[in-house]
Amino acid sequence: MRIAIEAQRIFRKNKHGMDFVALELIRALQKIDNDNQYFIFVAPGEDEVLQESHNLKIIRVSMPSYPLWEQIALPMAVKKVKPDILHCTSNTAPIFCDVPLVVTIHDVIYLEKRSSSNRSLYQNLGWYYRKYNVPSVASKSKKILTVSSYERDRIISTLKLPANMVEYIYNSYSEHFYYRQDSRVVIEKYLPDSRYIFFLGNTDPKKNTEMVLLAYSDYLEKSLDPLPLLIADLGAKYIDEILRKMDIVHISNMLRTPGYIPNRDLPYIYSGASLFLYPSLRESFGIPMLEAMACRVPVITSNTSAMPEISGDAALLVNPFDFNDISKAMVDLLSDDTTRREHIERGMLRIKHFSWLKSAEQLLNIYNEVIY
């Protein structure tokens, strides 16, 4: 087979969830498949994290915007290599493409009722692009892939697709996520404290940052030994606006906001944390939960969407709409060493259910099914 894979963003410096999923699956395919020919289409970038091999060629395609890259440049570049299949990995795909198409739709949040209008211009543009593109390409695809049973059901229901057209392949976590005893040197780049709570968010409202800060304010009042909160990927200005809006500016001296933390440093940050907070409103998978578990950190996450499916019994589940529920879980977990150890042990068992190699084997089987 000649397999084309769209991985547009994997060479960008500040990568996020979908970028790492595409990268890890491609690396795993490199390890397990020596027979088929792979053509990986990327945008040029400074972080070239993937290397060519005897049956894998990287093709750099330039265009000033993502829609133009995907709708014009990508189909033209794909046509030149004449593949048997094109796999688009990040929700959207070319509307006009003669190659049999497989699309990974990570979620359909943009086709559901909008939970908030508090989005950046960039997020709004992406939201409208996906809302237009996804229904069109889904109906033309040979197979739709997603990342959890929960999201599979949502896609089938939302897009009115036949059940046999949609399959899920679990994500996993990168192999460099494991407990680091020597984490202090790295941690000191981001905060001076030896003990802290870790929250990994972004400006998307689904990350529930407002409720997290409200819950943390309540935790500070209830805890006898309160820990500072490290907030990654959010700027101090953005946080300050939320604090003023929620009338909790007084907690600012307990917050640590270093901004974006590179993926290579995250294992050290997880390893040094006393607790990882992940009470999102909506997730199709939730890779950071597995990363934290692999680094031996207890996890608090939500009882909604795919998070219970992925975390199993290894995380403490809360109602993400109730700040009292979140803060109580924080106090309970941080004040009971036995409970913390139990969750850490359960987490180490839970992560054994996930493997990029296993996911790549499932993906390769689907490629064969589509072509043959």
Q: Which fold has domain 184-353?
A: Rossmann fold (3.40.50)
Give the single-character DSSP code of 319.
-
pLDDT at position 78, please? Answer: 97
- The pTM of the full predicted model, rounded to 2 decimals, is 0.93
pLDDT at position 113, please? Answer: 66
Cα-based distances in Å from 100 to 30, 294, 323: 22, 37, 47
Q: Which numeric CATH code is attached to 2-172+355-371?
A: 3.40.50.2000
pLDDT at position 122, please? Answer: 60
Low-confidence ranges of the chain (pLDDT < 50): 115
The angle formed by the CA atoms of residues 215, 325 and 295, to the nearest 5 degrees, is 75
What region, left, alpha or beta, does residue 276 occupy, with left being phi > 0 and alpha being psi -120 to 50 degrees? beta
pLDDT at position 15, please? Answer: 87
Domain positions in the chain: 2-172+355-371, 184-353
pLDDT at position 372, please? Answer: 85
The angle formed by the CA atoms of residues 58, 285 and 293, to the nearest 5 degrees, is 95
Instruction: Say if 2-172+355-371 and 184-353 have the same CATH topology.
Output: yes
C-alpha span between 89 and 122 (Å, rounded): 20
What region, left, alpha or beta, does residue 77 occupy, with left being phi > 0 and alpha being psi -120 to 50 degrees? alpha
C-alpha span between 195 and 206 (Å, rounded): 27
pLDDT at position 99, please? Answer: 94
The tokens for 326 are 């979140």
pLDDT at position 120, please? Answer: 62
Give the single-character DSSP code of 205.
G
DSSP string, 6-59: E-TTTTSSS--HHHHHHHHHHHHHHHH-SSSEEEEEE---S------BTTEEEE
